Structure 1
Amino acid sequence: MTYVVTDNCIKCKYMDCVEVCPVDCFYEGENMLVIHPDECIDCGVCVPECPAEAIFPDTDPAATPAWLELNYEHASAWPNIIHKKTPPADADDWNGVPGKLPHFSSKPGAE
C-alpha cells in the first residue's frame, strides 16, 4: 500500500504534509504535490496534516489508478520537497473546488 495525492491538492498545495513525512517522499509540481509510491512507507502521518484532505491510501476509491499513475510519473520528474513552503495566496479559495484536474500543471515546482 501507498498513499496518493489527489485533485484537491491542485492549486492548494498547502505542504503541511511535507513537514511530517519521515521519508521525504513528497515531490513538488508547479501547483500540486505528489507522493512517490516506491518511497512511501505507508505510515499515514501525512493524511491528518493535509488541510485540503487530498491524501488517501491507494485502497480508497478516491485514489483511483489514474491518480496513482500521476503521482508515480511526476514524482519521478519533479524535485523532492522536504520543507514546508508558503502555499499559494489563493489556496483557500481553491480548497474544496470540485473538478480541478483541468487546472493541473505538469511543470515542476521551484527547487
Structure 2
Amino acid sequence: METSNLTVPSIVVYVTVPNKEAGTKLAESIVKAQLAACVNRVPVGYEYSGLFVLIQTDSEELLIIKTRESLLEALTEHVKANHEYDVPEVIALPITGGNTQYLEWLKNSTRG
C-alpha cells in the first residue's frame, strides 16, 4: 500500500439517493463545487434482512464520493441542502492508503 506525506487526509463518503435522476444531479453539483474529486453512482439492488435476501424494487442509488477529510462538513451541508430526503445518509470512511498518484489527483481536484 503506497502512502505519501504529500497527500492530505482523504475519505470516502456514502450517500443514498432515491433515483438515477437525483443521483446525477447531486453528483454533478458536488463535483462542480469541488467538494469531491469524483462521485461513482451505483444502483442499489439488494437488501439483506437476517438470512434472507430481498430484492428491492425501488430505484435507489448509492453515491460513492471521494474527497478530502477537511471538506466533510461542507459536503454534508451541501448534501442536506440539495437532497430530497429530510435526513439523508452521509457516512464517511477514512482512506488509510492507496495509489499516491491517485491520492494526489484527489487532493488537486478538490478545494484546498
TM-score category (smaller protein): under 0.3
Whose strand proportion is higher, 1 or 2? 2
Greater C-alpha Rg:
2
Name the TM-score, length of structure 1 as normaliser: 0.26
Whose helix proportion is higher, 1 or 2? 2
